[in-house]
Amino acid sequence: MDTKKCKFCGEEIIGKRTDAVFCSNTCKAKHWEEQKLLAGKSGKALPEKTDVTTQLRGVLGHASNKTAADTKEKTTQRSLDKIVSMYNELRAPLDEKIRRLTDVKMQTAGRIEKLRKELENELQSDGSKWILGMAGTGALLGRLSSEDKTQGTILGGSIGLVGGSIMKMITTDQREAGKRTNAKKKHAEIRRLTAELRRQEDDILKVQEEIKALPLLQKKDVILHAPSGSIAQPNDVELNTDIINETRPYPVTQDVSDVCLTDTNSEKIINSHDLKSMDFKVLDFRGKWSSLFGLPSVNFHCIIHGRPGEGKSTFAIQFAKYLAENIGRVVYISGEEGFTKTLRDKFMNNDGVSKYLDIADLRTSDEIISNILPEIYNFIFIDSLDNMRIDAEKMKKIRERYKNSALITISQSTKDGKIRGSQELVHDCDISVMVENGIAKTNKNRFKEKWMTVEVFRPTDDDTFLNEHSKN
């Protein structure tokens, strides 16, 4: 069963109702505090953005790379839709037959239950009805025939009670014989209906097997479950007559490249053709940034690491300025220096000023989660992971909260050039950039070949890029 995540912190919700959206009252309160921050002067809360990627300016979509293959795929899909339609038309009568049989089965089960209750009540009867009936009749007759109504009622009821007791004893043998006779009849009827109920269940199973055993319609390299029948078929579809009489629900074809499109009953599993047709937005990096990073996804995670004074913060500010001016909205979180003269000088020296670039003085991951609302910034810079003591687990929580934003994090390096602390951060990220002696080099990149370099301290956008593979 899929786990539910807290709407505020992203933690798994445990021990709450199935419709809970917060893991605790604290997260619930903080969420509504965020909503208050979004309130305008009119007093009405601003609508929360559902996807911050809609405000991106420099982005490419799958639609920009349409090819003839896409058109061919649509045509193929239309043909497959026809096949599925034919299948549904011929399966419909079988589904209706199952519904009818199920209704009859329920009626039979109801009759069996009714007979069982009647039998139980009859076996429990002991002739007491004689006593009650004659006592009542005697009381009524005594009341009508006597001048003293009360005395007549009592006398008549007493006589009827005695008479009823006598009749109960006299009819005992006859009553027991009648009970045995009726019990046998009802038992026989219950057995007959039970056998009929089993036949009805078998009939339902047979129809279900008919549905499973429907022959397949084949189209090129795709196999679909489809019905047999006289309905006209598309010209490019032929009935696979070799397996019409096959009893197994999923026949094995000779062509191992065939794909059997059966229902996986899981949203976590898709076909490779579905993956091919999925639309992913990518960032339209240009110039040196395209040469260095390629075209990343809109929510990539990049780690910039290096030893003190090597240029990693300078490189990060240059990158933030480029993103703000050309791609989307940026926040630069300074957990190391805060709002200080040194930070201001770094931004001024690198022309790091833009109306789309904000600066935040936050010192912990909790402060980030509390102060930075999701779906606001396209790019979130965190400087640095070491000062804020953000490990791999905390980083996962941050990525979960800002799932539509790109994260660019800064960290210290050891003497041998590796990121300080757990290497799990590097394993989880998409891009890793090592800055050493004023040179930024990618040593991991899921969107382009690695070992691309750029000189950090060159003032223009025409920095020289070197492919380390060409050096060897």
Confirm if 249 and 263 have CB atoms less than 8 A apart.
no
Start-to-end Cα distance in the chain: 51
Provide the sign of the torsion angle of the four alpha carbons 446, 452, 458, 460, taken in this order: negative
Pick from 416, 445, 352, 429: nearest CA to 390: 429
Does residue 254 belong to any structural domain of this protein?
no
Q: Is residue 465 part of a domain?
A: yes
Range of the domain at 12: 1-41
Q: How far apart are CA 343 and CA 295, in angstroms?
A: 30
Cβ atoms 379, 319 nearer than 8 A: no
User: In this predicted model, which residue has the larger pLDDT, 445 or 251?
Assistant: 445
Which residues, listed in sequence order, are joined to residue 225 by a DSSP beta bridge? 216
Judged against a pLDDT cut of 90, whether residue 457 lies above it is answered with: no
Q: For residues 298 and 300, what is the distance between their CA atoms, to the nearest angstrom?
A: 6
Contact between residue 359 and residue 337 where contact means Cβ atoms under 8 Å apart? no
Give mean pLDDT, residues 159-187: 72
Burial of 247 (0-12, 13-18, 19+ CB in 10 A): exposed
> HSE-up of 145 (CA within 13 Å, CB side)?
10
Give CA–CA dist 23/6, Å, rounded.
Answer: 5
CA distance 163 to 133: 10
Alpha-carbon span 382 to 398, nearest angstrom: 11
Whether residue 347 lies inside any domain: the answer is: yes
- Residue 231 makes CB contacts below 8 A (sequence gap 6+) with 86, 89, 90
More confident residue, 167 or 112: 112
For residue range 280-298, what is the model confidence (pLDDT) as tens digits? Answer: 889 999 999 999 999 999 9
Give residue 67's pLDDT. Answer: 45
Give 208-257 pLDDT, tens digit per residue. Answer: 888 887 765 444 334 444 444 433 444 444 444 443 344 344 444 444 44
Model confidence at 77, pLDDT cuts 50, 70, 90, reads low
3-state secondary structure of 181: helix
Of residues 49 and 77, more confidence is placed in: 77
Is 242 inside a domain boundary? Answer: no
Cβ(428)–Cβ(392) under 8 Å?
Answer: yes
Structure tokens given for 155: 């006398």
Query: pLDDT for 305-352, tens place per residue?
Result: 999 989 999 999 999 999 999 999 999 999 888 899 999 999 999 999
Asked if residue 314 belongs to a domain, the reply is yes
How high is the pLDDT of residue 257?
42
Is residue 185 scored above 60 in pLDDT?
yes
Among 465, 303, 330, which residue's Cα sits nearest to residue 390? Answer: 303
The angle formed by the CA atoms of residues 89, 95 and 99, to the nearest 5 degrees, is 145
For the purposes of burial, counting CB atoms within 10 Å of the CB of 258, is it exposed (0-12), middle (13-18) or buried (19 or more)?
middle
- How many CA atoms within 13 Å lie on the side-chain side of 270? 8
CATH of the domain at 287: 3.40.50.300
- Pinpoint the alpha helices (H) of 146-252: 149-170, 172-212
Low-confidence winner among 107-121, 168-182, 435-449 (lowest mean pLDDT)? 168-182
Taking only the tens place, the pLDDT of each residue in 10-43 is 888 887 777 778 887 778 777 777 776 666 544 5
Q: Which DSSP string corresponds to 445-467?
A: ESSS-S-BEEETT-SSS-----B
Identity of the amino acid at 372: I
Is-above-0.85 flag for pTM?
Answer: no
DSSP element (H, E) containing 88? helix 68-124
SS3 content of the chain, % helix, strand, coil (to 5): 50, 15, 35
* Lowest-confidence segment of 215-219, 269-273, 381-385 by average pLDDT: 215-219
Residue type at 429? Answer: C
d(CA 94, CA 185) in angstroms, rounded, equals: 37
In this prediction, residue 171 carries a pLDDT of 65
Residue 311 lies in a domain: yes
Output phi, psi for 12, to 5 deg: -70, 135
How many folded domains does the chain comprise?
Answer: 2
Task: Please indicate, yes or no, if residue 290 is contained in any of the structural domains.
Answer: yes
CA–CA dist 22, 6 (Å, integer): 5
Say if 49 falls within a structural domain.
no
Strand order through the sheet with 222-225: 238-239, 216-219, 222-225, 259-260
